[in-house]
Chains A and B, each alone.
Chain A
Amino acid sequence: MRLLRDLVRTPEGAIGLGILTALVLVALFAPVLSAGDPLRIAGRALLPPFTDPAFPLGTDRLGRDVLAGILHGTRTSLSVGLAAALAAIAIGLCVGLTAGFAGGLVDEGLMRVVDAFQIVPSFLLALAFVSVIGASVPVVVLAIALGAWADPARLTRAQVLSIRERDYVASARVIGMHPAEIAFREILPNALPPVLALSAIIVAAAILTEAALSFLGLGDPNVVTWGSMIAEGRNILRSSPSLSIFPGIALVVTVVGVYLFSEGLTKALGGRRLEP
């Protein structure tokens, strides 16, 4: 709660939180705001935007409602982005904690695996993964997570290594605390904040990767995504640029919102640590 208050006090945090809240509300109420399947043919094809009150943002080549696509696309983008980031953070935390605590050979081994994943460009990895296994939402989530877990793993390990040497951990050992309790009560909660700040950036990257995969036609074909809408509009970019522009704006707003949120979060966490 205190963190939330600190977060809203920074301008970035307040704007980011506002944008994200709006997006989450849109995602939650998309079926209410625009009923029915957004992929169905709803009206005349290539209706320009702001001409027909039934289709405020116009229709695409097949006569699908652009606004409905954008509203429902929010669901895909946010859920895939969040799920992929959550999976990446979860894998990264586990690996980082194990490496940091175990040390020695286990640490060496795990960090070389992390190196391997960091060397391969994450987008190429996702591309290859989806091409081989096939496009569906869970596979896309896993593919993005595979390319993103190395950073949180590294950060978590560094945090654990640094906190392990603090006096309060020594103090916990001195009073005879069990090593497991030291790990989960003394070290883990204090290692988390920077990893959480990083997670917002991972969400933004995951949303962009998902859009890029969809743009290349490797997204789940059964759900509407902003990436696939941009790809769809690309073919007639000169005659109806709005088909690509509107989902593009949605994507930019989302990613900027996530970045601002993460910036505010970092500031709020940083300010806290400076307190005496």
Chain B
Amino acid sequence: MTLLTIENLSKRFSSGGREVAAVSDVSLTLEPGETLGLVGASGSGKSTLARILMRLLPADAGAIQFEGKDWLTLSGAELRRHRARMQMVFQDVLGAFNPRATVASVLDDPLRIHAIVPKAERPRAIAALLDRVGLPASYAERSIRDVSGGQRQRIAIARAIATKPSLIVLDEAVSALDVSIRGKILELLVELQEERGISYLFVSHDLAVLRAVSHRIAVMETGRLVETGPMRQVIENPQSPAAKALIGAVPRLVTEPTEGPSHDV
């Protein structure tokens, strides 16, 4: 059964009398256990799409089916309850946490709100979550500000898996991280997917990252979905100009001698 179906989703922003179509007529599907890489240049509307999906922004038109429910019509307490099934990891590893929070309080919130673990057992559950993302249990007492960026992203992932979701939206989740840490976080995400069958909607502008984790890739340009296909097909044989431009923009190490005379010295 398809986990997520997005149908003809549209969202316009108006600023200063000018209307901008951030997302226009986007349709997508996502299967359980699958990673869909959503790629596009900045301003292509991919983050807006992610935020509509998370119900952080209202959509203008279209429908979303998630786990068989009409996701956009849920509201109030019912929406809050169902949010447990769809979680998000943000790009900004600092801004995504209340500056007054401790590691324990960050992980305690989902467990408490969704009554997943009784109060007495929560410290143990928090330690287990920290352990799962590769951090020592002693981190629980630390302030979130005293933890490095890569560790903060591990904590964000622990918070996201605390409610046992079936879908996690990763909004540029490794873009702010050091390249050496990036690989480790991606490994952790893949491990969690294999272990728990979580689906990922991985939003990124970086094809190199998406190539490492995606099963399928969807390319967005100025609010429209211009190309969708299996990862290998999109990367090796891009059809749309937008996909070609993104692939051309991936920096690579020059290993072979350049053809013809070099123009620059």
Contact = CB atoms under 8 A, between A and B. Distances in A.
Interface stretch (B13-21, B106-114, B183-191, B192-200): B106-114
Contacts, number: 64
B221 to A, nearest CB: 25
Q: Which size bracket describes the interface of B in this complex? A: 20 to 34
Contact of B54 (A166, A174, A185): A174
Nearest to A166: B95
B99 interface: yes
Interface in B135-188: 145, 159, 163
A238 interface: no
A178 B238 CA distance: 44
A167 B81 contact: no
Contacts of B90: 167, 170-171
B98 A175 contact: no
B227 interface: no
B100 A171 contact: no
A171 B88 contact: yes
A178 B78 CA distance: 11
B113 A173 contact: no
A175 B113 contact: yes
B163 to A, nearest CB: 7
A171 B97 contact: yes
Contact of B87 (A168, A172, A175, A178): A175
A174 B83 contact: yes
Contact of A172 (B54, B109, B114): B109
B156 to A, nearest CB: 8
Nearest to B148: A276
Nearest to A174: B88
12 contacts: A167-B95, A168-B96, A171-B88, A171-B96, A171-B97, A174-B54, A174-B56, A174-B88, A175-B83, A175-B110, A176-B163, A178-B113
